[in-house]
Amino acid sequence: MGGPSDQDLFSHHGDALRRQQAPLADRLRPRDLDEFVGQGAILAEGRLLRRAIAADRVGNLILHGPPGVGKTTLARIIANHTRAHFSSLNAVLAGVKDLRHEVDEAHRRLEHHGLRTILFIDEVHRFNSAQQDALLPWVENGTLTLIGATTENPYFEVNKALVSRSRLFRLEALEADDLSRLLRSALSDAERGYGNRKVEITPEAADHLVNVAGGDARSLLNALELAVESTPTSAKGVIEIDLGIAEESIQQRAVLYDKQGDAHFDTISAFIKSLRGSDADAALFWLARMIEAGENPRFIFRRMLIAAGEDVGLADPQAVVVVEACAAAFERIGLPEGLYPLAQAALYLACTDKSNSTSGVFEALRSVRDAQRQEVPTHLRDANRDGDAFGDGKGYRYPHAFREHWVAQQYLPKALQGEVFWSASSQGWEGQRRERMLERRAAQLAASAEAVDEHPLLMSSGPEEPQLERWLQRQRAVDGERLQELRQRLWSDLDWKRTDRVVVLGGRSLLWSLDPLGAVAEGGLTILCASRTEQQRLDAQLQLLDPLHQPTVLDSPKGLDRFKADYRFEVLGGRLNAQDLSSPELETIWKALSARAMPDAQLRLLFSEPQLGPAAAVLELVDNDTTDPYLLQALNSLAQREGDWLSQETQRERLLATLDTNGWTIQPSSWQESLTLTVDASLIERWLGDSRPYQQAMEASGDIGSEELSVLRQALTRLLGQTLPQRLRHWRLTGVYH
């Protein structure tokens, strides 16, 4: 009678025991996004992937990144958030039979229960071409949703058809701060870590573990576990971990380097570009990294011979001779002494004069091909691997395009900028170049201190979105040419990044949100309206969009409180009207908005100031010899008051002062525009309706009464269908948040 409950009890006890005996890295695996550490570029509040997980609309994903950064953990978190069935395979262990079983089960669930299946495949690049092909039809028809994890470049190692149907996200090695948080969590968590044991770790030991882990959370936690479990408890009942114990627990950082993978190509690329850029320190660093990882020195010499012809050329004909002689010397002496000729060849190439005149051979080849094929061939390009998808290589400044074939840019990793690996003596050939190399080193450091990364590392890539683009094109066609020009001017110099989170003011028209909506697919767009009515109207316009692409529409800035405290935006902008500028809550609104801004957030605001009031415009059309002197008197009184009102700068000055108080550095610019306005009922109400700024300003003067305004309304009514002149001054505010 107690059998089933006893089995349940034993099962529960077994699960608890397995959890206790699991490695520390597995026990501390994050259970939800709030516990997940790092990868803010794709998982921060408001980013596309986080929104997709929360909405259970993940779709096909490929997660690409080095070991220990959270690929498998992220897949498990997605499993916890989805209403679909979640299955997983490891490509190292699974075969076509396992795949067929998963497909059959997924088909059965969908057919009998209407239940979707998400299949997670770890190390997906280990599947051969046939295995990946077997997945394709089921991914394509929706039987399976694929989440793949890989340490290799998916553009090389994963079936192109699968890649084209998936959204790619790149996960980066964790920062030192992220690893420090993990270390503190492991020591304080009583349930899954060592919070129930007295463990003390010195700052030096903690720094060593974090540093040598090299961005790998698993490596860090494994080292901590080894240190704690292998260290005896002191007489005080404390496990004391000092630097010596930490060094024994994690002695050497593993060099991530697969001779057929990204690390191989990326490292040799960094080495060659350092030689081309005349950075001897960086050249030695990347050379050492390749040697330490076991790269074949013959391959390195072969690439240096190419560099001697491509980047040095006739500026120093001895470069090829020196590299060839060093290669021959290496063959005779081998390692480890062969490091000397390796370093000598690299340093010679880095320090010598540069010229790319030998690249003229490609022009000769093109001429030959023209003659043979009787057509102009496409110009030879570098392969660039996955540059279009992830932006790799963008921002590299080609030295040959600058004076003296050199430009101040950094070739070392960010953490090593300023390190000196080679100090030139004052003797001979290197002595002649010592002064120039020191000057260039100083220029590089100065340029690094002031650099702005115009081409950040792109963290994701995905299929084209033709539906979104078609929708945007239709929306852009709704408004007239004049407003389209203002829209383009508003956002003209902004360098959009796909991961930007954007807040747009001015929900009266969707026009001002079209640019960010199409540009920040991986980030997020929030539109602030002035009323519930505006919000409902925009929501109706946006219904045709896929829910994941729909912006968040709020009926007031107070709606930002719905976001978590760590939600910050990178761009704020939009079109303001007179009501926005005169709002009594202006200071409160901008205080709330500024509190949500990231450091160096960009501001783009546009608003217009009329230079001609309605009474003055009517006067330009009315014959001064009119037989209605009362009309002229009323219009002249209003026109004089309009001139005083329009000449005031209080609203603009108030806005600028508010922005300055809240940490924005603003650069205003303005231009004038002359246009005509067609008189209709809506225009009359815009000026003379109850509580409109114009009516309130006229009545506030004390000199103008309801009679003059009534005369103006009558004059405008008689002009229905005609056009009035208008002159505007447009103001554009460009700002940065500090």
Nearest to 349 by CA among 303, 312, 306, 397: 312
Q: Which of 484-493, 637-646, 648-657 has the highest mean pLDDT?
A: 484-493
pLDDT tier, 376 (very low <50, low <70, confident <90, very high otherwise): very low
Average pLDDT over residues 581-596: 88
Average pLDDT over residues 481-489: 82
Q: Which of 101-115, 144-158, 204-218, 655-669 has the highest mean pLDDT?
A: 655-669
The CA angle 591-597-602, to the nearest 5 degrees, is 110
Distance, in Å, from the CA atom of 628 to the CA atom of 622, rounded to the nearest integer, reads 10
- Own/partner long-range contacts of 593-596 (Cβ < 8 Å, ≥24 apart): 593/503, 593/557, 593/560, 593/662, 594/662, 594/663, 594/664, 594/737, 596/503, 596/560, 596/563, 596/567, 596/568, 596/569
Is 213 inside a domain boundary? yes
User: 329 and 189, same structural domain?
Assistant: no
pLDDT score of 649? 60
User: 303 and 205, same structural domain?
Assistant: no
> In this structure, what are the phi and psi dihedrals at residue 461, rounded to the nearest 5 degrees?
-150, 155
Q: Are strands 501-505 and 524-528 parallel, antiparallel or unpaired?
A: parallel
User: 198 and 282, same structural domain?
Assistant: no
Nearest to 61 by CA among 141, 145, 175, 182: 145
Average pLDDT over residues 136-145: 83
Helix (H), strand (E) at residue 467: helix 466-476
| Predicted structure pTM score | 0.59
CATH number for the domain harbouring residue 444:
1.20.272.10
Distance, in Å, from the CA atom of 322 to the CA atom of 306, rounded to the nearest integer, reads 13
Which tokens hold the place of 710? Answer: 């009534």
pLDDT score of 541? 77
Is 108 inside a domain boundary? yes
Q: Measured over all CA atoms, what is the biggest interatomic distance in the chain, rounded to whole angstroms? A: 111
pLDDT score of 64? 85
Give the percent of the chain with pLDDT over 90: 13
pLDDT tens-place string over residues 314-372: 788 899 999 999 999 988 887 788 899 999 999 999 998 888 777 766 665 555 555 44
Average pLDDT over residues 402-413: 74
Does 381 have pLDDT greater than 50?
Answer: no
126 within 8 A of 151, measured Cβ to Cβ: no
Last residue in a domain, options 249, 266, 293:
249
171 within 8 A of 63, measured Cβ to Cβ: yes
pLDDT score of 89? 86
pLDDT tier, 719 (very low <50, low <70, confident <90, very high otherwise): confident
Is 192 inside a domain boundary? yes
Helix (H), strand (E) at residue 725: strand 723-737
614 within 8 A of 687, measured Cβ to Cβ: yes
User: 294 and 233, same structural domain?
Assistant: no
Distance, in Å, from the CA atom of 402 to the CA atom of 354, rounded to the nearest integer, reads 12
Distance, in Å, from the CA atom of 48 to the CA atom of 607, rounded to the nearest integer, reads 31
CATH number for the domain harbouring residue 91:
3.40.50.300
Q: Are strands 597-610 and 723-737 parallel, antiparallel or unpaired?
A: antiparallel
- CA 45 and chain centroid, separation: 13
Is 472 inside a domain boundary? no
Does 41 have pLDDT greater than 90?
Answer: no
Residue scoring higher pLDDT (39 or 377): 39
pLDDT tens-place string over residues 169-226: 888 888 888 889 889 888 888 888 888 888 888 888 888 888 888 788 888 888 888 8
pLDDT score of 702? 66
- CA 149 and chain centroid, separation: 21
User: 84 and 139, same structural domain?
Assistant: yes
Is 363 exposed, middle or buried (CB count within 10 Å of its CB: 0-12, 13-18, 19+)?
exposed
pLDDT tens-place string over residues 119-134: 888 888 888 777 777 7
Is 491 inside a domain boundary? no
Is 570 exposed, middle or buried (CB count within 10 Å of its CB: 0-12, 13-18, 19+)?
buried
Residue scoring higher pLDDT (625 or 180): 180
Q: Which DSSP string do the residues of 526-570 spell out, in sequence order?
A: EEE-SSHHHHHHHHHHTTTS-GGGPPEEESSGGGGGGS-TT--EE
Nearest to 643 by CA among 612, 680, 602: 612
For tokens 């570098």, what's the residue? 382
Dihedral sign for Cα 159, 161, 166, 170, please. Answer: positive
Which tokens hold the place of 411? Answer: 């070739």
For tokens 């320190």, what's the residue? 281
Distance, in Å, from the CA atom of 647 to the CA atom of 611, rounded to the nearest integer, reads 8
Size of the chain, expressed as the number of residues it contains? 738
Q: Are strands 167-170 and 664-678 parallel, antiparallel or unpaired?
A: unpaired
Peptide bond into 336 cis (omega under 30): yes
Q: Are strands 597-610 and 460-461 parallel, antiparallel or unpaired?
A: unpaired
Average pLDDT over residues 21-31: 83
Is 318 inside a domain boundary? yes
User: 264 and 396, same structural domain?
Assistant: yes
Residue scoring higher pLDDT (487 or 214): 487
**CA dihedral angle for residue 517, residue 518, residue 519, residue 521, rounded to 10 degrees:** 80
Task: Specify the range with the lowest mean pLDDT, choosing from 290-299, 468-477, 488-497.
Answer: 468-477
For tokens 């057919």, what's the residue? 111
pLDDT score of 604? 95
pLDDT tier, 38 (very low <50, low <70, confident <90, very high otherwise): confident
Does 562 have pLDDT greater than 50?
Answer: yes
Residue scoring higher pLDDT (377 or 602): 602
Boundaries of domain holding 75:
39-170
How many domains, the chain? 3
Does 598 have pLDDT greater than 60?
Answer: yes
pLDDT tens-place string over residues 565-577: 888 999 999 998 8
Q: Are strands 569-575 and 552-554 parallel, antiparallel or unpaired?
A: unpaired
β-sheet bridge partners, residue 201: 241
- CA 609 and chain centroid, separation: 36
If you average pLDDT over every residue of the chain, what do you get?
79
Is 370 inside a domain boundary? yes
CATH number for the domain harbouring residue 215:
1.10.8.60
Does 8 have pLDDT greater than 70?
Answer: no
Contacts of 594 (CB under 8 A, 6+ apart): 662, 663, 664, 737
Nearest to 286 by CA among 349, 228, 217: 349
pLDDT score of 323? 93
User: 346 and 239, same structural domain?
Assistant: no
Nearest to 659 by CA among 713, 593, 730: 593
Distance, in Å, from the CA atom of 148 to the CA atom of 596, rounded to the nearest integer, reads 34
Which tokens hold the place of 475? Answer: 């929306």
For tokens 């030192």, what's the residue? 176
User: 376 and 422, same structural domain?
Assistant: yes
For tokens 């039979």, what's the residue? 97
pLDDT tens-place string over residues 496-518: 888 899 999 987 778 888 888 88
Distance, in Å, from the CA atom of 451 to the CA atom of 396, rounded to the nearest integer, reads 13
Last residue in a domain, options 406, 434, 463:
463
Alpha helices in 40-128 (DSSP H): 40-43, 48-54, 71-81, 96-113
Last residue in a domain, options 170, 204, 229:
170
Ramachandran area for residue 590 (φ above 0: left; ψ -120 to 50: alpha; else beta): alpha
User: 307 and 288, same structural domain?
Assistant: yes
User: 272 and 144, same structural domain?
Assistant: no
Nearest to 24 by CA among 142, 157, 189: 189
User: 423 and 290, same structural domain?
Assistant: yes
pLDDT score of 626? 57
pLDDT score of 395? 62
Is 579 inside a domain boundary? no
User: 339 and 194, same structural domain?
Assistant: no
Q: Which DSSP string do the residues of 487-504 spell out, in sequence order?
A: HHHHHTT----TT-EEEE
For tokens 């480890």, what's the residue? 336
Give exposure, 312-335, as e/b (b: 16+ Cβ within 10 Å).
bbeebeebbebbeebbebbeeeee
pLDDT tens-place string over residues 287-299: 988 888 778 888 8
